[in-house]
Amino acid sequence: MKVATYLNFPGTCEEALSFYEKHLAAKVLVKSRFADMSATGAPQNLPPGLKAEGILHARFMLGDTVVMASDGPPERVQPMRSAYICLSVDSNEEAERIYGALSEGGEVFMPMGETFFAQRFGQFRDKFGVNWMVIREKPMGAR
């Protein structure tokens, strides 16, 4: 079994993909649009709020993980609430860089700082509604 994260955006998927490419070195593997659903490029019966140029389905690599994404009807897409994408990094500088870039314009839940379990740890929701944790773990002994 494989598990993958699927993110929905309220018409901002294209912008989010570009943002993650720039700040997380994400690599877009597949990107199809609602317009691709029809030979004429004008899909029929799109829910209100969705545009033909919107993202029907995308797949991108985030580190070693495949993440999928699409645009959904803006009135149905809600920001993430209780789930987070956790990025574990190898340096304090990388933790600070990612935290700074992704939290800008978003909502900080826990400022970046040192904890008993991490040299750097922070939690936030980015400007696209995706919850993130960024961590540079401390070496911990086996239990």
Q: How confident is the model at residue 69 (pLDDT cuts 50, 70, 90)?
A: very high
Q: What angle do CA 132, 66, 118 make, to 5 degrees?
A: 35
Report d(CA 121, CA 99) in Å as an integer.
9
User: Where do you find CATH 3.30.720.110 in the chain?
Assistant: 79-143
| Domain 79-143, architecture per CATH | 2-Layer Sandwich (3.30)
| Domain 1-77, architecture per CATH | 2-Layer Sandwich (3.30)
List, for residues 10-34, the tens digit of each pLDDT value. 999 999 999 999 999 999 999 999 8
Report pTM. 0.90
| Bridge partners, residue 87, by sequence | 134
Q: Are 51 and 11 in contact (CB under 8 A)?
A: yes
- What is residue 36's three-state secondary structure? helix
Give the mean pLDDT of the chain: 92
pLDDT for position 142: 55
